[in-house]
Structure formats: structure tokens, C-alpha cells
Structure 1
Amino acid sequence: MTAESAKAFEALEGQARALLDLFARAGYEPVAPAIIQPAGVFLDQIGEQVRGRTYVFTDLAGEELCLRPDLTVPVSRLYLERHPQADEQARYSYNGPAFRFQPLGPSATHPREFRQAGIECFGVPDKENADIEMIRLAVEAVKSAGLRDFSLRFGDIALFYALVDALQLPKRWRNKLRHYFWRPPVFHALLDRIAQGTRPEPDTLATALADKIASADQARAEEIVAAYLDAQGIPLAGNRSLREIAERLLDHAADLRADPLPQEVGTVIDYVLTVSAPPREACDKLAMIAKGAGLDIDAGLGAISRRFDRLEGEGVDLSRATFTAEFGRKLEYYSGLVFQIEAEGLDETEPVAGGGRYDNLLTALGAPRPVPAVGSAIHTERLLAAVEGGA
């Protein structure tokens, strides 16, 4: 290690120690979840944008494992190990590496291995209080590290869910729009297609294979897919199982048969998702769109507005904050509030910190009851670079 790299490492570790001290004073117990995790847990929960960037391998015993691409899932698993009945409140903090493939190549702001210092809060029934605590601590943490020039970006996935419920969409399209929300280009292509009444091109190999398995049960469908892949010499590689491939083919076939959405429904969704403005202005715009469309999303908008009131009341500066209706971050376990802290000179894809609410994750990991949960992680290398760059 060169003198320069040793100095950088010590600065990073010093920053992390200070962050963990701050979290400890706020009541967050430090934990160290395992770096190697069961692959299936992550591939099922983190979503398409991250699962394709996860380092997956099989050990000598044949178990499929991965290098953790984030720390929220490992800390959630640790919570369930300690509290199998999921009936206790807990607050944990951590600092350690995470790993993601970078399709454009690693860089200073997008390395393959990066460090996260963060906090996770489990089981607190007053979700609003926990959300406020999480945002306030994240802001306090980056400010304590010396970051001065930053802005806040907010979104709320629960508001989008409330919108599609208020529109009374067919269950199929409601579920698909929820599924693709985190991938805006795919989402808008899907919305345009189903609102215009166009269907996927039917004369494809995928459609032909889907037709073969359309009337089969799951086990038989997987056998047919396996036989086809074998006959074509196509290896089963990457992060897709036979079950998932069969399910996607059946989903593709169902798209061909489904009725389109009314075009005006697609227009309303588009209008809502184009809203990106300072928090008060965004709430007013969303209320106006909802009123014009005859939709009742008052409860969701009221919760968002009240959250902003409380944040300002607790000293969080929202003068440079933005609420973006389409903002959902990249991890698909989020279910409500999402936020990130963006430093001057770094774009939206390079936040120094971010987090949100993930109330459905713990039951997906095996909890016997729903567990309200919210967390935040700081990309410590980005934070240090932003602080030193602004010094």
C-alpha cells in the first residue's frame, strides 16, 4: 500500500468511525452481517436493476451464494436470526463493503467494491416517526462529516400504489405496472403499449415456446423449457432459474391475450409521474391532477405533506429538496418513502446517501408477521470525495 492510499484508507476509516459513533448515540447497535449471503434471498428481493449486477457463485457443496450487493437484506436476516418471531423493536448500524458489477466499467464513483455505513430500524409501529428519524439522522451524518453543499430528493412508492389502486386497473396491469415502476424506460414502454391497445409481436420463438407450456402445470412447463434449452444447446446461466423462465414465458403469452387499458388512464399515470418539483409545489400539482381525474389519493398526499412539515419542524432544510413522483431508487424491496442525498458535482445516479421504507421485506425473508422497517445507507467513499472536493 502506497503512502497516498494508506492516507486515503485512514481518512475513510476515520470518517466511518465518526459516523458509527453518531449512530450509536442515537441508539443504533453496531452489527457486522456476513459478506457472503444466500444468492436466492437477494435475487428474489432486490429487483432487476441490481440482480443482474450481483456476483453469484456456487461453492463446493453446490450451494448458490453471492457477495452482498447491499447491506439492508443481510441486516434484515440478522434481525430475524435474533428475533425469529419478529416481535421486537431493534435499531442496528453497520459499516462494511458491498459488491456490484459495473457494466460501464468500474470508476471512482461506481466501483465494484464499495463501502456503506448505515442504519436500519425494525418494528417501530409509528412509521412517520421512524421515517423522520431516518431522514434526520442521514442528514445529520453527512453534515457531521463535513458535507455542506447537497440537496435532498424524495419519492413515495406507496403514493404510486395508491394511484394504480384508485384507477381500479385490472389486476394484471396493476401488478405489472408495480413490478416495472423501478425501471422507467421499460415502465413507459409498457404503459404506452397497453394504453394504445398494441400487443407484443406474436411471431417470436418466445411466444411459440410460451404456447407450448400454456396449458401445462409448473413442473411440466419447466421440463419443456429445459428440453428446449438442451436441444438448442443453450446453457442455463446467469441469475434465472427454470421456474422463472417458464413464468416469464407464460406471462408473455398472457400479455398477448389481455385487454388494453383505456388511453385516458395511461395519460393520468403519465401526468402524475412527470411531477418533479419542490415538495410543496409537487404536492399541489399532484392534488390538482388527482382532482381533475376524479381520484382519491388524499390520504397518501396528506401523509407526504405532513412528513415535510415535521422535517422542517425538526430543522431539516428543504429549500433545495425535490419530490419526484417517478423516483423509486433501484432496490425493489422499497414500499413507501424513498430519499437520497445528492452532493454538488455528482448526478442523481451517484448519491452520497439514500434509503427508504421496506415494510414487505421481512415477511419475504420468512418473518411470521409484517415488520415495519426503514433504513438508510451512506456511500462513504463518495461522501469523503465530496467533502474533500468541496474543501
Structure 2
Amino acid sequence: MRSKLETVIAPFEREGYRRAEPAILQPVEPFLDLSGEDIRRRIFLTQDDDGREWCLRPEYTIPVALAHIAAHASEPASYTYAGPVFRMRGANEPSEFAQAGLESFGRTDFAAADAEIMALTVESAAALGLTRPRLLMGDVALLTALLDRLGVPQAARRRLMRAVAQGKGADAVAALEPPAGEVEHAHAGLLKALEGQDPKAARAFVEDVLSIAGISTVGGRSAGDIAERFLARAAERDNPVNGEASGVIAHALAIGGDPDGASAALRKLADNAGLDLSAALDAFDERTGFLAARGVDVANISFSAGFARNLDYYTGFIFELHDPARPDLKPIAGGGRYDGVLQRLGAPAPVPAVGASLWLDRLAGGKA
């Protein structure tokens, strides 16, 4: 196994990525803060004598990011890692398994950094024999730009993103409509009280209501987070998504193919709808150019506007590598851009971040 780990990260170290070795035992709070209380069901927990909760390392990205923040690094930095991680996965998969990967923090040449991460991941997989992976790619930033231009309210946007993450593709557009009776009946009195208030006063009002009710956190969300949800729900009452916007979103989510063809189709859709997506699409095309320059066969990439990984985590391009010989369709590698994560973990300002992980038991066909 050690030789496989070294083989996988060799391309990363040649590129100048520095080896990171975070501790196996990690404080649980950062994982809960980013993933919510639900992650407790999938990680291995313990407590110290002071009652503080710890967990066996369920993945590497958060510990590596925390170490980067603690170092007060002011320059871009790139890290690689390889070792065991521990979490419950699907049936017939071990709960202790080997993970390797790479993370790049602080680079502002976004397209080049994105392409480097994906190209190195492809090269690393090839080092263990997967020379012709099935490549899937999406772009959260592109979808976000579309929703921004269409003025989709936050509550409807969250439902749509959740449906996209569930793999519903173009059918995810049905989630733009609130569940039957939700807006009219659930919390109707509170939503009515919020009408006409400015955002600051409305947030203070909701936080006061929650405080009176003795509510501080729900599912890992603070009172402020809950207040934002109520405000978004109230805004949706006044600004529902119309049929024309829903049609544009459904059309966009159905677009797929190689990156060049998908870009052309998205540009045509934007032009027909009178939407300016030029900045997001120019960045998309720039990344495609960098991928080609690094030797990635872009014609072999299957882009889908409706492809997603964890949309609360990723903020830009996302990708997965699959082994065509594996019938279960689980990815052997995956990653993308997550520019908001380091600030959520305590960095004083947003830090551009992109990375990827490889799961060696899947790369080795379950024999690693």
C-alpha cells in the first residue's frame, strides 16, 4: 500500500506540492460546521477528559486547510497528502481506506490552477493503470451566474441546488416551486411580520424570536443562519420564479457534451434569453484551453450543467474520474474549486482554493 501511495502522489511532488501530514485525531467542530450534524452518522467520534469531541480523520482537505490557516501563510501554497481516512461509506466498502490528494491555496490564476489540479489527478490515476478514465465535469459558478442573472430568490435557489446535487438534472427545475402549502402555512405569522422590514431589522427580529424560544442552533446552524433562511423565505413570497425563468434554467441544466460544444450551447441560450453570461463562459473556455495545454483530452470530458458534487462546498468547477470497468459508477477521484471554505474555517478573508482526492481502494479495483 505504501508504494501505491507514493506512486499516486509522485506527480504532485514533482509539480512542487509540499507533503502535508495532519494528525489522525481531529477536532470534530470544523467537520460539523461545514457538513452539518448529519455527518455524525458517518464518522468515528470520541471525547477527551474535558468533554471536547474528536474524530478519526474522515478526509484530508479540512485538516490541511486548518494547518494552512494556522501558519498565517500570506503567499500561495500547494500541498499533497496520502494516508488512511475513516468514515462510513456505502455497502461493501471499508470504513478505513487510503486517500491521496492535492490542494492549492491562494492562487489567483483560477483557470490555470483548476486545469493543473484536474490534469495532475488524471496523471496520478494513470500511474496506477487507469489510462482512459471517464471524465465528468460541471461548473457551480456558471450555474450560480445564471441564477443571479435570472434573479432567483435564495430559498428557491437552495431547493434547486439540492435537487441538482441529488442527480435530478433538468428535472431539478421542479424544486423552484415551494412545497405545497409551505409558504402559505408554515411559519406564516413570522413571514407576515417580516414583510416591509429592512434586512438588518428583519434579521434582528428573527434572532430575538429564536432567543425567546430558547433556540441557539438547529442542525449545526446558528440563530443567524436560521434568520437568513426565514428572510429568504419571506423574499420568495414577493418574488416567485416565473415560468420563463424556469424554462431557461431547465434548458441550461439539460445542456451537456464536451466542454467546447457545451460552451457554445450555453452562449446561444444566454443570447436568446438576453442574459449576460460572458464572464462566466469566458472563464470556462479559458480553463478548457489550459486543460488542453496540459495534455488532457478535452474531447473525452463529459460536461453537464446539471452535474454536481457537494454544492454547499464547491463554488466553481467540479470534476470526477470514473473507471469505465467499474459497474457501480462510484468515482475513483474527484475535486473542484471551493473558494469559501477557508474563510468559514477561520481565515480572515476569502482564500482561492482548489483541490482533488483519489480513493485508492477504488483505483485498485478494491484490492488496495
Give TM-score scaled by structure 2 length. Answer: 0.83
* Counterpart mapping for 1:155-304 below 5 A: 155-170=138-153, 173-174=156-157, 177=160, 182-184=165-167, 188-193=173-178, 199-200=181-182, 207=187, 217-218=206-207, 220-224=209-213, 239-240=219-220, 243=223, 247=227, 250=230, 254=234, 257-304=237-284
Alpha-carbon offset, residue 50 of structure 1? 5.7
Alpha-carbon offset, residue 192 of structure 1? 3.7
Corresponding residue for residue 131 of structure 1: 114
Name the CA shift for 1:94/1:211 in 2 (closer, same or farther; >3 Å): same
Equivalent residue letter for 1:126: D
Alpha-carbon offset, residue 335 of structure 1? 1.1
Equivalent residue letter for 1:377: S
1:188-244 Cα shifts (integer Å, max 9, x gaps) = 4431448xxx6427556xx489689988552551452659xxxxxxxx9x9546748
Kept after mapping to 2: 8 A contact 1:49/1:331: no
1:120 pairs with one of 83, 88, 103: 103
Task: For residue 312 of structure 2, give the secondary structure of its aligned residue in structure 1.
Answer: coil
Kept after mapping to 2: 8 A contact 1:165/1:174: no
Kept after mapping to 2: 8 A contact 1:202/1:256: no
Equivalent residue letter for 2:103: E
For 1:243 and 1:178, how far apart are their aligned partners in 2? 23
* Counterpart mapping for 1:103-114 below 5 A: 105-108=90-93, 111-114=94-97
Corresponding residue for residue 14 of structure 1: 3
Equivalent residue letter for 2:305: A
For 2:221 and 2:342, how far apart are their aligned partners in 1? 23
2:16 is equivalent to residue 27 of structure 1 = yes
| Deviating more after overlay: 112-121 vs 341-350 | 341-350
User: Alignment identity in percent?
Assistant: 34
Equivalent residue letter for 1:101: M
Name the CA shift for 1:179/1:253 in 2 (closer, same or farther; >3 Å): same
Kept after mapping to 2: 8 A contact 1:154/1:323: yes
Corresponding residue for residue 88 of structure 2: 101
| Deviating more after overlay: 370-379 vs 180-189 | 180-189
Kept after mapping to 1: 8 A contact 2:215/2:223: no
Alpha-carbon offset, residue 384 of structure 1? 1.1
Give TM-score scaled by structure 1 length. Answer: 0.78
Task: For residue 356 of structure 1, give the secondary structure of its aligned residue in structure 2.
Answer: strand
1:293-323 Cα shifts (integer Å, max 9, x gaps) = 1111122112212222232232212332101
* Counterpart mapping for 1:312-391 below 5 A: 312-330=292-310, 332-346=312-326, 350-385=330-365
| Deviating more after overlay: 139-148 vs 29-38 | 29-38
Name the CA shift for 1:276/1:250 in 2 (closer, same or farther; >3 Å): same
Alpha-carbon offset, residue 177 of structure 1? 4.7
Alpha-carbon offset, residue 70 of structure 1? 2.2
1:60 pairs with one of 6, 28, 49: 49
Equivalent residue letter for 1:94: Y
2:76 pairs with one of 59, 73, 89: 89
For 1:171 and 1:141, how far apart are their aligned partners in 2? 38
Gaps of 5+ in 1: 1-11, 228-235
Kept after mapping to 2: 8 A contact 1:335/1:360: yes
2:291 is equivalent to residue 311 of structure 1 = yes
Gaps of 5+ in 2: 195-201
1:76 pairs with one of 65, 68, 82: 65
Corresponding residue for residue 230 of structure 1: none
Aligned residues: 357
Name the CA shift for 1:163/1:226 in 2 (closer, same or farther; >3 Å): closer
Cα RMSD, aligned residues only: 3.5
For 1:249 and 1:312, how far apart are their aligned partners in 2? 42
1:172-193 Cα shifts (integer Å, max 9, x gaps) = 5456656765345595443144
Kept after mapping to 2: 8 A contact 1:154/1:322: yes
Name the CA shift for 1:222/1:112 in 2 (closer, same or farther; >3 Å): farther
Alpha-carbon offset, residue 341 of structure 1? 0.9
Task: For residue 313 of structure 2, give the secondary structure of its aligned residue in structure 1.
Answer: coil
Corresponding residue for residue 146 of structure 1: 129
Name the CA shift for 1:139/1:172 in 2 (closer, same or farther; >3 Å): same
Name the CA shift for 1:245/1:300 in 2 (closer, same or farther; >3 Å): closer
Equivalent residue letter for 1:325: A
Equivalent residue letter for 1:29: R
